[in-house]
């Protein structure tokens, strides 16, 4: 098996975030559930956008944010996801490529417009998200470059992909190509509601096709329908080669077989916006793992990246993570 050209390849929903600061009453008026992500159609997206105040646009998407993190550490990252040949599609491609991520997907000239996530930020710093997936839902299996998958040490899948049935064939094909080439497959459970929607499939994946699972406390407890984190840890360590489980300010727990590492959270001066914390934790973890570091170091770099991204608005790193990581890597 030759050395892979790419450290981490991610498949995910390509989205541009549209953010505005609002009072709590708007969330109520729009009948949204605060702090969660809602899947919406184009008409509802127009309705929510019309109700929002002046906004800011910035490229997002959970798995894409993760790849931007890997690149910021100096790793070789690539992303596969579908955007349209429109303004937001060009913005998404520009931002990802200029972050140093390989993004070879062509901009689709037909089908739906590029997906967007309408983000309402309330005074308590919580985010209420309404996602119109648009072009992202039309990811075709043949848009997954199997040679690229085979040439990537890890292929990373975001749980949100399961919300769009047509993507499943693309995911299956990617996972098969990765294992066929002797590479690893990672899965992020994305959010507790996503786990609710797809629990059986996620369970089957974690027990079968997936080598590395990322989840926070709520997600992993939901996956196993248990109340206690320790019970979830006991279950997942029997199912999946590596599990990296985040616990907010209480740090993270990394398990592999009988091995367990408890990692403290990196210090943060002020938590401004927690979006992207899980994505960036995964970025630091996978960068470490694909660069020969041990699991404890992987957890520490994950915490470091998460701490950077929650210290400012926005879900992609604002300073080179390689510089922050240098003292830890000696």
Closest to a copy of itself by CB, 20 or 36 = 20
Q: Quick count: other Cβ atoms within 10 Å of Cβ 274? A: 16
Q: Kindly state the smallest distance separating residue 321's Cβ from a copy of itself, in Å.
A: 14
Residues numbered 206-265 forming contacts with a copy of itself, rule: CB under 8 A: none
Q: Are 123 and 62 in contact (CB under 8 A)?
A: no
Which listed range, 54-62, 158-166, 210-218, 282-290, lies at the site for a copy of itself (CB under 8 A)? 54-62
Judged by CB under 8 A, the chain residues 276 through 315 that form the site for a copy of itself are 314
- Site for a copy of itself (CB under 8 A): which residue of 29, 33, 41, 56? 56
Considering Cα of 111, then 80, then 246, then 217, what sign does the dihedral take?
Answer: positive
Give the residue ranges of DSSP H helices in the chain: 24-29, 42-51, 62-72, 87-98, 146-150, 167-180, 192-207, 217-224, 229-239, 277-289, 295-310, 321-329
Instruction: Pick from 14, 37, 68, 212 the residue near a copy of itself by CB under 8 A.
Output: 68
- Determine the Cα angle at 321 with ends 264 and 303, to 5°: 15
Q: Which of 33, 57, 142, 207 binds a copy of itself (CB under 8 A)?
A: 57
Distance CA 2, CA 21 (A): 49
Contact indicator for 131, 38 with CB cutoff of 8 Å: yes
Q: What is the 3-state secondary structure (H, E, C) of 22-63?
A: CCHHHHHHCCCCCCCEEECCHHHHHHHHHHCCCCEEEEECHH
| Count of residues in contact with a copy of itself, rule CB under 8 A | 24
| 58 near a copy of itself, rule: CB under 8 A | yes
Minimum gap (Å) between residue 163 Cβ and a copy of itself: 24
User: Closest separation between CB of residue 261 and a copy of itself, Å?
Assistant: 32
Among 316, 321, 324, 325, binds a copy of itself (CB under 8 A): 316
Cβ contacts of residue 159 below 8 Å, gap of 6+? 187, 188, 189, 190, 191, 194, 195, 198, 202
Q: Does 323 bind a copy of itself (CB under 8 A)?
A: no
Candidates 170, 195, 131, 130; CA nearest to 10 is 170
Q: What is the largest CA-CA distance in the chain?
A: 57
Q: How far is the CB of 58 from a copy of itself (least distance, A)?
A: 5
Binding mask 83-122 for a copy of itself (x = CB under 8 A): ---xxx--x--xxx-xx-----------------------
- C-beta closer to a copy of itself: residue 176 or 313: 313
Q: Which residues pair with 307 in a beta bridge?
A: none
- Segment 13-32, which members bind a copy of itself (CB under 8 A)? 21
Q: State in angstroms the smallest separation of the CB of 197 from a copy of itself.
A: 30
Tell me whether residue 44 or residue 168 sits nearer to a copy of itself (CB atom).
44
Site residues (vs a copy of itself, CB under 8 A): 21, 49-50, 52-59, 68, 86-88, 91, 94-96, 98-99, 314, 316, 318
């Amino acid at each position: 098996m030759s050395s892979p050209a790419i450290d981490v390849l991610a498949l995910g929903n390509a989205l541009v975030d549209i953010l505005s600061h609002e009072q709590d009453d708007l969330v109520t008026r729009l009948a949204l559930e605060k702090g969660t992500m809602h899947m919406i159609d184009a008409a509802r997206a127009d309705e929510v956008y019309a109700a929002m105040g002046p906004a800011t646009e910035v490229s997002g998407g959970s798995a894409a944010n993760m790849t931007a993190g890997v690149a910021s550490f100096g790793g070789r990252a690539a992303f596969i996801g579908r955007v349209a040949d429109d303004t937001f599609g060009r913005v998404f491609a520009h931002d990802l490529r200029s972050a140093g991520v390989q993004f070879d997907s062509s901009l689709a000239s037909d089908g739906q417009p590029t997906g967007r996530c309408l983000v309402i930020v309330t005074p308590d710093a919580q985010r209420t998200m309404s996602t119109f997936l648009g072009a992202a839902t039309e990811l075709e299996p043949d848009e997954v470059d199997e040679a690229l998958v085979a040439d990537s040490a890890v292929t990373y899948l975001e749980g949100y992909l399961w919300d769009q049935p047509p993507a499943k064939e693309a995911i299956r094909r990617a996972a098969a190509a990765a294992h066929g080439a002797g590479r690893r497959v990672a899965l992020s459970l994305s959010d507790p509601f996503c786990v609710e929607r797809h629990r059986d499939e996620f369970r089957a994946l974690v027990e079968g096709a997936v080598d590395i699972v990322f989840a926070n406390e709520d997600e992993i407890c939901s996956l196993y329908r248990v109340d206690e984190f320790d019970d979830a840890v006991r279950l997942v360590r029997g199912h999946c080669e590596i599990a990296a489980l985040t616990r907010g300010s209480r740090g993270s727990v990394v398990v592999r077989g009988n091995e367990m590492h408890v990692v403290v959270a990196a210090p943060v001066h002020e938590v401004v916006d927690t979006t992207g914390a899980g994505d960036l934790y995964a970025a630091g973890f996978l960068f470490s793992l694909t660069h020969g570091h041990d699991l404890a170091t992987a957890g520490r770099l994950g915490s470091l990246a998460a701490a950077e991204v929650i210290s400012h608005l926005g879900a992609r790193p604002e300073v080179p993570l390689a510089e922050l990581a240098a003292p830890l890597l000696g």
